[in-house]
Each structure stands twice: as C-alpha cells, then as structure tokens.
Amino acid sequence: MRQLPRTRAIRLAAALLLTAAVLLPAATTVSAKDPLILRIGTNQDPSSINPWNANLVVEYEIFQLNYDLLVNFADDLSPAPGFAQSWTQSADGKSWTFKMRPDMKWSDGQPATSEDARWTLQYILDANKSGDTLGLGYISAYPINAGIASVSAPDPETLIVTTTHTTDRVLSMDTPILPKHIWSKISAKDSGNFPNTPPVVGSGPYQAVEWKTGQYIRFVRNPNYWGPQGAADEIVIRFFPNAEDTMVQAFKRGELDYIRNPSAQQFDQLKTMPGVVAIDAPSTGFDELGFNTYTKPVPGGGASTKALQDPAFRSALGYAIDRQLLLDKVHHGHGTIGTTMVPPYYLQYHIDPTDLTTFDINVAKQKLEAAGYPLNAQGQRLDKQGKPINLRLYFPNTDPTYPTDAQFITDWFGQLGITVKSQSFDSGTLTDILLGPSGKTPPKGKLAYDMFIWGWVGDNNDPNTLLQIFLCSSIGSSSDSQFCDPKYDALYNQQNESPTAAGRKDPMAQMQQLIYDAAPYQILDNSSELHVYRTDKFANWQQMPPKTGTPLFVMGNINYTQLTDATALPSPSPSSATSAAPAGSVPPSAGQSAASATPAPSGGGSGGGSSSALLLVGAVGLVAVLAVGFVIVRRGRAGGPPKEEE
C-alpha cells in the first residue's frame, strides 16, 4: 500500500522557508475565538494530493481526511460506517448491498449518493479492463483484489457490488469514494495529472483548503460531514523532508502536537518528556536493499551488469549484510531483523523461509565464486562478461538511516571486491528512476540503477499490498525491482481468492520462500513505527489496533473524529454552576468553513501547544494537569501501517 518516506524533495528555497517558519516565536496572546488546531509533523513531503497518485504514508493520510472510504475502519480494524452506513451479503457470498445515508452531501453542497460510489468503482473496473493505470495504481488495486465484477446503483441510497468469488474484501478497501461531478470529467489516462487543487471537494471529516509544497497542508472541518466531529477545528500537517531535527525541536517547543518517525535516538529522548506519549509500534512494513532485476534491454539505460539478473548473485550478497548490526546501530534496536516481505506483524501469515542467511563475508565470497563471479588480479569481482562489478546504490534523502545503511553495505560489499557508489535523491526523482516499462506504457525513466535502499508499509489488516509489489503486472507501476515470475503470480491469485485465512497461509508461505530464494530484495529490517504526541491540547488518543498500533497514519479517519479538547473547561450542570464534568467532555466548537479559515501556520500560532497552554487560567491549568496525569505512556511499537511509501 504505502511506502516509507518516499517523498518528493523540496527546493532549497522552500526548505529555508520551512525552517524559518518553525523557528518563529510562539504567539504570546490567545484570542477566545482562535480555532483549536491539531498540528502534525512528518518527514514526508507529498508530491501530489490527487488520491490516485498516493504512494506515501502522508498522501494516504491526506486523502483519508478528504474522502470517505466505502466502508471505514474501526480502531480494532473491524468494518465501520463510511460512505455507506450499512451493508448485507447475499447467501452465496458473491453479492453485497450497501445502503447510503439519505440527504448526504459533498463539502460543496452537492448530493452525495450511491451513484458516486458506483462511478468510482466502475472507473477502476473500466481502467483495469482497458489496461490503463489510474495514477500510480496503488489505491485502484483494492477493488481488483476484492474480485469486484460489477457495480450498480438502482436508487440514490443503494449500491450493489457483485464479486467473482466469495469474499469479504469489499469491506476493507482503502479506496476513496470520489465525487462524480468533479472526477467524471477526467479520463483514466489523465487521472494522475489532475491537480485536485484546494479547496478539495470531499465527504470526509476535513477538507484541504491550502497546500504549500515542502511546507504544509491545512484542513478545515467539512460542514456537511455526516459523522461525529473531533475537537480540532483545523488540522495542519507540516512537512520536514531531510529535517528531522527541526521537526523534533518544533515538537519540544509545543509547535507540533504529534510527530511521526523521528530518529530512534530522538525518540528515546522524547519519551522521557513529561506530558508526552511515545509509541513504538510493531511494523507492518520493512526496509530493503533492492536490485534491478529487469531482463529486457533498455536503450541507454538498465543495470550496469547482468549479474543483477542472477538470483545466485543476489542471494550471495545477503551473506555480506549484518542485519543485527544495522538494527542495533542504525535503529537503536527499535524493530526486528527482516526476513520476508510479510512482516512478523501479520502473525498468521508470516513464515520464516528455510536456510536463513547469516552474516559471513567468507561464505558470501565462496558463493560468488561458485556462481561464476571470480576475482581478478587486482581483487575486483568480475561478472560473467569479464567486467569488474561496480554498482550504483540509490536511496531517498528523507530518512537519515538510509545513508548510514549505505555506508555499511558499501564497506561489506567492498570486502567482496565489489565497488559501490551511493547517491541520494528526492523521493519523486527516485520514484521516476525506479519505475519501468509495462505493456503499453513506455518507461518513465531508463531504469538506470543497480541497487536501492527504501522501505514499504502495508495495511494494518492484511499483507496483500506488500505481496503485490512482486507481481509481473506491477512492473511499470509499483514494482521497483522489476521482478517477474509467473509461479509467484499464480500463488498470489490462489491466496487472494481463498475465502479463509487458513486457505491463504500455504500459498503465502510458498510466495515468501520463492522471493527469499530469488532475492529481488534483501529485506533488512522491520523497523518500528515511532510516533510521539503531546497531551496538553488533545485527549482521547486511540491506537489502531488497540495497544499495539498508533493513533494517526493508520487505516481510515476515525481517530481524528474521536479527539477531545484536553483544555476544555467542564460544562456547568443545569442545577449547579460548580458541578464538574470530566475533562475533555465539552463538545467542540462549530466547524470552520474554507472562507473563515485561519492564515498559514507559523510557530506555535493560534491554538498552538504549550505557549498557549501557559496563558490558561488556573482552573483550566488544573484540568489539563489532571488530564495528563491519566495518560498511560507506552513503549515502542511493532505494527502500525507498514509504511511507505512508500
């Protein structure tokens, strides 16, 4: 589904503007009319807010705020009302009837009906039939994987979905329902080019009204939202590509309420702060060293050596990677050693392959020799064409762990006689380099790379989005290794169409072994999702899934609608002005419209963090202290949305 920090880099000027913005002094006065703003920090920078182009975790977060899913996710990942308020399954299991709310509206006031849902799903089915890829192809994969065969809308409140086989996958599609009156003007071929300029028209709880590339995106409440409203009048997500320290310092000053994936060292420091909750959640994804396995000639491009097309060569390199050292030194132990593309988070599906590699440079050398890759007199490793093997290693500039990983790998491979030269790129550029040709689609780039370090994040409830990376059909869309094996595709279809988890386990185990042996990736680790939030402004943070997940950057938007105001004064009861209600029980103020939205964020700003909290009267301060006192601080994590890139 979504990748690790695969973000489009910003220009230097934009980066300077961002740094200046976060260093501005916090406001010294707070007006009673100031909106309550939830401020979020991430090291990702979206290159698009068009949902069809979503491949970063932050881009998924953006479209899930703007739009409803057909069926939302509750905190325990069970189906919850979304665009549809209820649903039933036919006796044969191949037909679903969804009911919409009467008089539901889009944020621009237009009627939101079953026809919008039908159009969205039909748009995907038609594109799939014609061989067109909608944007980057990530979110359109859900209805296809669910086996949807046809959709109809017999009346404005009814949607009927039929599937090719018995399945409940239609209840867990992370695909937004889009307004037909906006998107029906866009052809499938042009779907990825639509800018979706704010103010965005959607049915979600918040709508984007302002977006500054490399700086922030700002949302206000959707006045027509059908569901419960969270305490935040506005939400600002601020982008800190290649500037994690700046993000962390802003959080310490109270200018951010929530941050995703500071460095492991910063996380360990932040979790000691009072009034802060730090979550180390098990990963639903992994970091990998990937290889260019493309076997067809690419004029003017392609890998630098055919050795990368050889599974024996790629597999031998796995013995020259000390995964435990990378986990300990780079991630400070936050995570687990990686083995397969199905992380241990998915307990019922993760199967360790046989003959796990262990770090041993001498074994790596022996296997390379046995596979036909000798050393010359100068100590250089030669490919089967007799050329010295010199490999290019690329990684995105959004995560400080990647260049450190690259330094270790360069040294280890150097001991094998293989020269490695590494280079960082902004995520958008690197995405273009890694995406190759498929069918009717010409190469977006020349596939001029050899290896890369990056990461993927999967869904909280299912590993399918990680499995489909290696499908032959993913070349040209989500595949970055260009791997293709018809046997793998057949196993994927077998597990995907199985009606039970037990039926999926065996083919999925075979898939994990196949990829491990073919080694288009060397999985490095399942690094933890490290999230940190403050408790002085917002309360009722919910984890998804409970106890092991994170509050934000998960599936759906329900957690935003459950936040309460941690500083709200208790409402006096009708009989006594001194009767106190629980902290955070006061309903949030009326939603803001696009016209009344506040100006661009800067520093602490209105409603911002500790600077405004200091101005509260004594009674409010006491309530805030009590609210903080009841927060249970959790340790690390091992699971939130397997990230990515993402």
Question: What pLDDT digit, counting tens, does each position of 231-263 carry?
Answer: 999 999 999 988 889 999 999 999 999 999 999
Per-residue pLDDT of 571-586, as tens digits, reads 554 433 322 333 333 3
- Helix residue spans in 343-383 (DSSP H): 361-370
The CA angle 203-193-18, to the nearest 5 degrees, is 75
- Helix residue spans in 131-204 (DSSP H): 141-145, 180-183
Residue 375: predicted pLDDT: 98
Residue 443: predicted pLDDT: 55
Residue bearing the bigger pLDDT, 613 or 284? 284
Per-residue pLDDT of 5-45, as tens digits, reads 333 333 333 333 333 343 333 333 344 468 999 999 999 99
Q: Above 60 in pLDDT, residue 310?
A: yes
Helix, strand or coil for residue 300? coil
Contact (CB, 8 A) for 519 and 512: no
Q: What amino acid occupies position 452? A: F
Per-residue pLDDT of 105-147, as tens digits, reads 999 999 999 999 999 999 999 999 998 889 888 899 999 999 9
Contact (CB, 8 A) for 229 and 564: no
Residue 138: predicted pLDDT: 86
pTM of the model: 0.78
Residue bearing the bigger pLDDT, 19 or 533? 533
Q: Above 70 in pLDDT, residue 614?
A: no
Residue at token pair 């509050």: 551
Gap between the Cα atoms of 640 and 24, Å rounded: 33
pLDDT band at 612 (very low <50, low <70, confident <90, very high): very low
365 Cβ contact partners less than 8 Å away, ≥ 6 residues apart: 416
Domain coordinates in residue numbering, the chain: 2-25+32-41+207-282+531-567+602-629, 68-193, 287-520
Straight-line distance from the first to the last Cα atom of the chain, in angstroms, rounded to the nearest whole number: 7
Residue 575: predicted pLDDT: 37
Residue 427: predicted pLDDT: 83
83 Cβ contact partners less than 8 Å away, ≥ 6 residues apart: 68, 69, 70, 71, 100, 112, 116, 117, 177, 203
Residue 306: predicted pLDDT: 97
SS3 per-residue string spanning 220-279: EECCCCCCCCCCCCEEEEEECCCCHHHHHHHHHCCCCCEEECCCHHHHHHHCCCCCEEEE
Tokens of 35: 């909106």
3-state percent breakdown (helix, strand, coil) of the chain, nearest 5: 30, 20, 50
Superfamily of domain 287-520: Dipeptide-binding Protein; Domain 3 (3.10.105.10)
Contact (CB, 8 A) for 616 and 567: yes
Question: For 617, which DSSP code?
Answer: -
Residue 444: predicted pLDDT: 62
Q: What is the mean pLDDT of the chain?
A: 84
Return the closest-CA partner of residue 60 out of 135, 121, 1.
1
Return the closest-CA partner of residue 306 out of 371, 397, 244, 215.
371
Residue bearing the bigger pLDDT, 1 or 45? 45
Contact (CB, 8 A) for 45 and 8: yes
What ranges make up the beta strands (E) of 43-141? 71-73, 79-81, 84-89, 95-100
Q: What amino acid occupies position 358? A: T
Return the closest-CA partner of residue 72 out of 63, 64, 62, 81.
81
- Average pLDDT (266-290) is 95
Superfamily of domain 68-193: Periplasmic binding protein-like II (3.40.190.10)
Contact (CB, 8 A) for 323 and 359: yes
For 372, phi then psi, to 5°, come to: 100, 25
Return the closest-CA partner of residue 137 out of 427, 394, 435, 523.
435
pLDDT band at 499 (very low <50, low <70, confident <90, very high): confident
Gap between the Cα atoms of 512 and 54, Å rounded: 26
Q: Above 90 in pLDDT, residue 463?
A: yes
Residue 637: predicted pLDDT: 25
High-pLDDT (> 90) share of the chain, %: 71
Residue 640: predicted pLDDT: 33
Residue 428: predicted pLDDT: 81
- Average pLDDT (329-341) is 95
Of 25-39, 334-348, 424-438, 534-548, which range is least confident?
25-39
- Average pLDDT (543-557) is 95
Q: Above 80 in pLDDT, residue 64?
A: yes
The CATH-assigned architecture of domain 2-25+32-41+207-282+531-567+602-629 is 3-Layer(aba) Sandwich (3.40)
**Sequence-separated contacts (24+) of 345-352 with Cβ below 8 Å:** 345/282, 345/283, 345/284, 345/526, 345/638, 345/639, 345/642, 346/284, 346/458, 346/462, 346/463, 348/501, 348/505, 349/463, 349/501, 349/504, 349/505, 349/508, 350/512, 351/505, 351/508, 351/509, 351/512, 351/513
Q: Can 68-193 and 287-520 be said to share one CATH topology?
A: no
